[in-house]
Amino acid sequence: MIRLGVIGVGANVFSMHAKAIEAHASAIEVVGVADINLSAAEQRAESFGCPYFSDHRALLAETHPDAVAIVTPHPFHAAIAIDCMQAGTHVLVEKPIAVEVAEADRMIAAASQTNRLLAVNLQHRTRAVIRTAKKLIAAGRLGEIQRVQMTAIWTRTRRYYELADWRGTWRGEGGGVLMNQSPHTLDVICHLAGQPSLVAAWNRTTFHAIETEDTSVAMLEWPHHAIGTLIVSTAQAGDPERLEIAGTRGVLQVTNGNLTFGESSTDLRDFLAESDNPFGKLALESSDVELEAGGGDHTAIYANFIDAIEAGAGLVADGAEARLSLELANALIYSSATNQQVALPLDRAAYSVLMDRLRGVP
């Protein structure tokens, strides 16, 4: 049995962790929970039959867990995760991994120094359509990627932002839609196409009375010269997810959980050079693609975390992988705030200066 501590049991997302823990009850024993909200901690502790604490350090000192799940708001992820790893504990942390990429750097360094696992809950990587898309790309069936287009609409109402005073604030979240609703969206882009090397973003607060952006529109470029667009918003109507990745041999689309794929036996570069038709189009034949099985939820991430601890399995998303999408989010915020194109890797010090200014830190 893996002796698990859970930190942040008062968070809304904790219910998903609770279901995953229950699903793996044969492998996990919850030995303690912690939350600054003592009534929430006491209630969760009663359901698990374990002690509860107001401070994660007391949980670590008194229960000595093998692993912890960190479910607190992301401004607290870095400090808590580093404390846990230095106490000899493996860590599974909610997304995003942190607020600033410099914090993620420190978390990754701590994992290396302590030889502890740092896993991040990026469960969208385990969705059947995303796993299948990854397999198609890895097999070369799209050819060389040329275009990535992602639209993700996460409509939220005024009431959503009234549920907690930290929502939509620079101090509470370090960003708006890019930091709260879009980490999975940005991670899917980085997971399938790699991290962009150059971005230009236009972030706006359109209809919500919040400090941070409710909408972001961006242009992206990759080292291999692929280009792309991103639109994410909590203040628009539309599909929750619409992704298209086009390469020199095929095009895949993921829309509302469905995947379609068309491919050609001819590479576009050869077709452009050799076709006698001045208005010719590369013919793409629809291919039946068998989706990878299962996945897509917290249960899949916990299964992987358990396998990594017990058998050395590779993590679905470790700290370095999770840093990719956080750095992209930071770069988009920096680009819009400074009205300039931003190259990655992002200047950590410059971003920290920007965040201090946005937070009103003297």
pLDDT of residue 276: 97
263 near 250, Cβ under 8 Å?
A: yes
pLDDT of residue 187: 98
**Of 181, 71, 65, whose CA–CA distance to 120 is shortest?**
71
CATH 3.40.50.720 in the chain, residue ranges: 2-124+297-317
Rounded Cα distance between 85 and 130, Å, is 30
pLDDT band for 239, please (50, 70, 90 cuts). Answer: confident
Q: The pTM is what?
A: 0.97
**pLDDT per residue as tens digits for the range 80-113:** 999 999 999 999 999 999 999 999 999 999 999 9
Mean pLDDT for 147-172 is 96
> What is the residue-averaged pLDDT of the chain?
97
Mean pLDDT for 130-135 is 97
Rounded Cα distance between 289 and 291, Å, is 6
CATH 3.30.360.10 in the chain, residue ranges: 127-293+325-343
pLDDT of residue 256: 84
Rounded Cα distance between 332 and 353, Å, is 15
pLDDT at 237 over 90: yes
**pLDDT per residue as tens digits for the range 35-53:** 999 999 999 999 999 999 9
pLDDT of residue 287: 86
What 3-state DSSP class applies to 261? strand
Mean pLDDT for 129-155 is 97
pLDDT of residue 12: 87
pLDDT band for 288, please (50, 70, 90 cuts). Answer: confident
Rounded Cα distance between 129 and 220, Å, is 23
Rounded Cα distance between 14 and 71, Å, is 6
Share of the chain above pLDDT 70, in %: 100
What CATH class does 2-124+297-317 carry? Answer: alpha beta
127-293+325-343 folds as: Dihydrodipicolinate Reductase; domain 2 (3.30.360)
pLDDT at 294 over 80: no
